[in-house]
Amino acid sequence: MPQPLPSPSPDFLSRFSEEGYYCCERILEAAACARAETAIRNSRPFGPELFMTEEAYNASEKTHYGTNPLPGRNILDTLDTTFVTANHSLRSYIAALLGENFRWFYSKLVCRVPRDAMPAWVLNGIGLGPTTTLGAFIKPEYRDIAYYHDNEIHQDIMDYARMPEENKEHRLITLYVYLDDVTLRDAPTCVAPGTHLLGAGNFPYDITKTGSTWQYRHASGQSMETSLKPVPTPAGSVLMWHSCLLHGAKPIADGRWRFGIRYMLACAKGAKNIPLDTINARIQNPLYQEKETTARAIFPNHNGFLLMPQSDWTRSYFE
């Protein structure tokens, strides 16, 4: 008989509903996180060697598409991640949101590349500004990990426009596992609390600084005041968020490479009346975009370098 799951924190659902995210601090076994981190760091040289030469890049297809980890090319297939997926306490939180029999829908290891490890030809190519992913610049043999320099403010829902309709029915949420300490000085994930309540928006998102707060204007004409709140995550913490929550990450300035495991979680196929549905019922606007607004769809491609618009937020960290 499987053991019954323990109860999550009593304020979990109300906070996830109000703020669109929740952090389970140090919920995972520290030693297991450290073992995974060591195995990752030993898997390849984390330095400039990961990147193609500029000549090899110029001779390549110059596209980020198809450069993410895929089935058969995913470092997580070689790691024991049961310290995450079998963690009873964590499972209780997920089940409280997605119902029993939720599924680990997709997973990849995310590597945050420190800014000072970026080759000059890549930094110059992206205009020293924000970027979407670094996949196209990475040697093909290392593409079993997803590499990022920064993440402009976005909703994860923007990735789902390309998904088949049946996947949308699964009501995906994002879950991030932090293997190592990420403090306020370490370019932590930043979230804009409550922004999920306006539903799916369009990239680039209209979010501007107004004094000490941020104003988010949705395409529907609705707007709200929010903040861009960095969330420190001690090793073994798990941060989960709604697919419509605005979030991002600044570049790493202190030279330390960082790793996190990103999961997309789905409810059981055909599940009805899961708690997330109650939260979604508060959202007046559509939960999914009708058309694709990923960088590929809307930004000019300069030799494979997608030149991104800069929000007030990214401008502030590149100044």
Which chain residues interact with Fe ion by CB under 5 A? Answer: 156
Closer residue to Fe ion, CB minimum distance, 19 or 156: 156
CA 264 to chain centre: 9
Question: Please, how many CA atoms are within 13 Å of residue 82, restricted to the half-sphere of its CB?
Answer: 1
Give Cβ neighbours of residue 290 (< 8 Å, ≥ 6 apart): 161
Q: Find the shortest distance in angstroms from Cβ 20 to Fe ion.
A: 12
Q: DSSP characters for 97-127?
A: HH-TT-EEEEEEEEEEPPGGGS-HHHHHHTT
Nearest distance in Å: CB 156, Fe ion:
5
**Angle in degrees, 0-180, between the axes of helices 88-98 and 12-19, rounded to the nearest 10:** 60
**Judged by CB, which is closer to Fe ion: 156, or 180?**
156
- Position closest to Fe ion via CB: 156
In the complex, least distance from residue 215 CB atom to Fe ion, rounded to whole angstroms: 21
Beta bridge partner(s), residue 148: 112
CB of 100 to Fe ion, least distance (A): 26
Residue 13 phi, psi (nearest 5):
-65, -40
Closest distance to Fe ion from the beta carbon of 158 (Å): 8
Q: Cβ of residue 159: shortest distance to Fe ion, in angstroms?
A: 8
Nearer to Fe ion, 156 or 186 (CB): 156
Amino acid identity of residue 308, one-letter, is: M
Nearer to Fe ion, 57 or 147 (CB): 147
Distance CA 65, CA 162 (A): 12
CA atoms of 20 and 255, how far apart (whole Å)? 31
Rounded CA-CA distance 19/231 in Å is 13
